[in-house]
Protein backbone atom coordinates (compact mmCIF):
# COMPACT_ATOMS: atom_id res chain seq x y z
CA UNK A 1 0.00 0.00 0.00
CA UNK A 2 2.99 2.33 0.18
CA UNK A 3 2.19 3.38 -3.39
CA UNK A 4 -1.06 4.81 -2.11
CA UNK A 5 -0.28 5.96 1.44
CA UNK A 6 0.15 9.63 0.50
CA UNK A 7 -3.15 9.49 -1.38
CA UNK A 8 -4.95 7.84 1.55
CA UNK A 9 -3.51 10.42 3.96
CA UNK A 10 -4.66 13.28 1.72
CA UNK A 11 -8.18 11.82 1.53
CA UNK A 12 -8.24 11.34 5.31
CA UNK A 13 -7.33 15.02 5.82
CA UNK A 14 -9.92 16.15 3.23
CA UNK A 15 -12.57 14.14 5.10
CA UNK A 16 -12.13 16.48 8.07
CA UNK A 17 -13.58 19.32 5.95
CA UNK A 18 -16.76 17.45 5.00
CA UNK A 19 -20.02 19.32 5.47
CA UNK A 20 -22.51 16.57 6.32
CA UNK A 21 -25.07 18.02 8.75
CA UNK A 22 -27.81 15.64 7.62
CA UNK A 23 -26.19 12.23 7.11
CA UNK A 24 -23.24 12.77 9.46
CA UNK A 25 -21.35 10.58 6.95
CA UNK A 26 -18.05 12.35 6.29
CA UNK A 27 -16.15 11.33 3.17
CA UNK A 28 -12.77 12.43 1.87
CA UNK A 29 -11.30 11.75 -1.55
CA UNK A 30 -7.93 12.34 -3.14
CA UNK A 31 -7.14 12.08 -6.84
CA UNK A 32 -3.60 11.61 -8.09
CA UNK A 33 -2.45 12.83 -11.46
CA UNK A 34 0.05 10.85 -13.47
CA UNK A 35 2.51 13.65 -12.71
CA UNK A 36 2.10 13.02 -8.96
CA UNK A 37 -0.05 16.05 -8.13
CA UNK A 38 -2.92 15.39 -5.74
CA UNK A 39 -6.33 17.08 -5.60
CA UNK A 40 -8.67 16.53 -2.68
CA UNK A 41 -12.37 16.78 -2.05
CA UNK A 42 -14.96 16.21 0.65
CA UNK A 43 -18.68 15.65 0.51
CA UNK A 44 -20.83 18.76 0.80
CA UNK A 45 -24.48 18.22 1.71
CA UNK A 46 -27.42 20.47 0.98
CA UNK A 47 -30.88 20.66 2.57
CA UNK A 48 -32.43 19.71 -0.78
CA UNK A 49 -30.32 16.51 -0.78
CA UNK A 50 -30.27 16.36 -4.60
CA UNK A 51 -27.74 19.19 -4.68
CA UNK A 52 -25.34 17.32 -2.41
CA UNK A 53 -22.00 16.52 -4.06
CA UNK A 54 -19.76 13.60 -3.24
CA UNK A 55 -16.11 13.91 -2.28
CA UNK A 56 -14.93 12.04 -5.39
CA UNK A 57 -16.63 14.47 -7.75
CA UNK A 58 -15.31 17.48 -5.83
CA UNK A 59 -11.73 16.20 -6.21
CA UNK A 60 -12.19 15.37 -9.89
CA UNK A 61 -13.83 18.69 -10.73
CA UNK A 62 -11.09 20.59 -8.90
CA UNK A 63 -8.44 18.74 -10.91
CA UNK A 64 -10.25 19.27 -14.22
CA UNK A 65 -10.79 22.96 -13.44
CA UNK A 66 -7.04 23.32 -12.91
CA UNK A 67 -6.27 21.78 -16.30
CA UNK A 68 -5.39 18.22 -15.27
CA UNK A 69 -6.47 15.46 -17.62
CA UNK A 70 -4.41 12.35 -16.76
CA UNK A 71 -4.88 10.42 -13.52
CA UNK A 72 -3.73 7.10 -12.09
CA UNK A 73 -5.56 6.66 -8.77
CA UNK A 74 -8.30 7.96 -6.52
CA UNK A 75 -8.72 7.23 -2.81
CA UNK A 76 -11.94 7.33 -0.78
CA UNK A 77 -11.81 7.44 3.03
CA UNK A 78 -14.69 7.14 5.50
CA UNK A 79 -15.06 6.22 9.16
CA UNK A 80 -17.36 3.29 8.32
CA UNK A 81 -16.31 -0.18 9.41
CA UNK A 82 -17.17 -1.49 5.95
CA UNK A 83 -15.10 0.12 3.20
CA UNK A 84 -17.19 2.53 1.14
CA UNK A 85 -17.01 2.39 -2.66
CA UNK A 86 -18.01 5.32 -4.89
CA UNK A 87 -21.72 5.71 -5.60
CA UNK A 88 -23.07 5.11 -9.09
CA UNK A 89 -22.87 8.76 -10.14
CA UNK A 90 -19.26 8.97 -8.98
CA UNK A 91 -18.38 5.73 -10.77
CA UNK A 92 -19.67 7.25 -14.02
CA UNK A 93 -17.67 10.47 -13.52
CA UNK A 94 -14.52 8.58 -12.49
CA UNK A 95 -14.79 6.37 -15.58
CA UNK A 96 -15.35 9.27 -17.98
CA UNK A 97 -12.79 11.67 -16.49
CA UNK A 98 -10.14 9.27 -15.19
CA UNK A 99 -10.55 5.98 -17.04
CA UNK A 100 -9.51 2.65 -15.58
CA UNK A 101 -7.70 4.08 -12.56
CA UNK A 102 -6.94 2.38 -9.27
CA UNK A 103 -9.67 3.03 -6.69
CA UNK A 104 -8.23 2.86 -3.18
CA UNK A 105 -10.82 2.38 -0.44
CA UNK A 106 -9.76 3.01 3.15
CA UNK A 107 -11.30 3.65 6.54
CA UNK A 108 -10.13 5.19 9.79
CA UNK A 109 -9.54 1.72 11.22
CA UNK A 110 -6.68 1.18 8.76
CA UNK A 111 -8.38 -1.21 6.34
CA UNK A 112 -7.43 -0.70 2.68
CA UNK A 113 -8.40 -2.37 -0.59
CA UNK A 114 -7.51 -1.47 -4.16
CA UNK A 115 -9.82 -2.03 -7.12
CA UNK A 116 -9.73 -1.09 -10.81
CA UNK A 117 -12.50 1.12 -12.16
CA UNK A 118 -13.28 -1.48 -14.84
CA UNK A 119 -14.22 -3.87 -12.02
CA UNK A 120 -16.43 -1.33 -10.25
CA UNK A 121 -18.15 -0.28 -13.49
CA UNK A 122 -17.85 -3.30 -15.81
CA UNK A 123 -20.24 -2.16 -18.55
CA UNK A 124 -19.91 1.64 -18.65
CA UNK A 125 -21.81 4.16 -20.70
CA UNK A 126 -19.19 6.36 -22.38
CA UNK A 127 -18.30 7.93 -25.72
CA UNK A 128 -18.23 4.47 -27.31
CA UNK A 129 -21.94 4.25 -26.58
CA UNK A 130 -22.82 7.40 -28.55
Nearest one of 113, 61, 116 to 124, comparing CA atoms: 116
The torsion angles phi and psi of 23, rounded to 5 degrees, stand at: -85, -25
Residue 73 CB neighbour total at 10 angstroms: 20
Q: Is 16 part of the annotated catalytic residue set? A: no
* Per-residue three-class SS string for 58-104: HHHHHHHHCCCCCEEEEEEEECCCCCCCCCHHHHHHHHHHHCCCEEE
User: CA-CA distance, 70 to 77, in Å (whole number)?
Assistant: 22
Catalytic pick from 6, 56, 81, 96?
Answer: 56
Q: Are 82 and 105 within 8 A, CB to CB?
A: no
Q: Which residues are catalytic?
A: 56
Amino acid sequence: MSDYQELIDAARRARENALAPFSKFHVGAALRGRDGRIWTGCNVENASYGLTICAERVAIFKAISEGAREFDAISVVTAAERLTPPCGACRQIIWEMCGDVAVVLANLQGEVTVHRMKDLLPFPFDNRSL
